[in-house]
Amino acid sequence: MLDNYALNLVLHTAKEWASSNNGSFSRFFSLDQVDRQWLLDCSEVDIQSLADLPTSIIQVNLDEVRPKDLVRSSVMPTAEVTAISGILGAIAENVRSNVQVGMISWGISSQANADWLCKSSLKDRIALASQGKVTFSPRTSFSRIARSNQSGTDVMANLMRILSGGKANG
């Protein structure tokens, strides 16, 4: 089962950056205009309903991680890089608790990247974020997820829609 703390961090950060037109939004979040607008218009209840789903609606996209290629800077990271590295830390905790379930929950397709994430230090995650080697994208459009008064059937349909990348009927 997904611990929704990391997903809450991702969704709230995306909403905050989209609302403030933060330039880092498009660097770290790969959302189309419909999903960005949904974020701008959504309520706290809407965000919580996405965070309460049994798997993450957000996919973590890591470039192939080669630890020797990560350049650690002696310069203090920006607030945005620090936020992303914190999110990655929360996701790493989630993946560490059960690697296979964590990979499925976060859409991580590379075992090597999952292993790296589990073993990474804060400095590693800062280096990855500062080099732009991570983005977050929706696995299906936010607006396609049934959010209110979900029956067991709605929950299952949402889960299948997310895991199939939005291709499930319903």
pTM: 0.84
Residue 170 lies in a domain: no
State pLDDT tens for residues 123-165: 999 999 998 899 999 988 877 765 555 656 666 666 666 666 6
Q: Give the model's pLDDT for residue 141.
A: 80
Domain total for the chain?
A: 1
Q: pLDDT value at position 168?
A: 46
Q: How far apart are the first and last CA of the chain?
A: 23
d(CA 162, CA 149): 18
Specify whether the CB–CB gap between 106 and 59 falls below 8 A.
Answer: yes
Range of the domain at 55: 4-163
Go through the chain and tell me how many residues it has.
Answer: 170
Question: Token digits for 75?
Answer: 């310069």
Q: What was the pLDDT predicted at 61?
A: 94
Q: How confident is the model at residue 109 (pLDDT cuts 50, 70, 90)?
A: very high
Would 25 be classed as within a structural domain? yes
- Does residue 168 belong to any structural domain of this protein? no
Task: Give the single-character DSSP code of 134.
Answer: E
pLDDT at 167 over 90: no
> Residues 2-24: pLDDT tens digits?
678 999 999 999 999 999 999 99
d(CA 91, CA 106): 8
Q: Choose among 80, 51, 62, 60: nearest CA to 142.
A: 51
pLDDT in tens, 35-93: 999 999 999 988 988 888 878 889 999 987 776 777 676 678 999 999 999 999 999 99
Alpha-carbon radius of gyration of the chain: 16
Rounded Cα–Cα distance for residues 169 and 147 (Å):
16
Q: What's residue 142's pLDDT?
A: 79
Question: Dihedrals φ, ψ of 105, to 5°?
Answer: -60, -35
Band of pLDDT at residue 170, cut at 50, 70 and 90: very low
Under the phi-then-psi rule, with left for phi > 0, alpha for psi from -120 to 50, and beta for the rest, what region is 150? beta
Helix boundaries (H) for the chain: 4-19, 24-28, 33-41, 44-51, 79-97, 99-106, 111-119, 122-130, 152-163
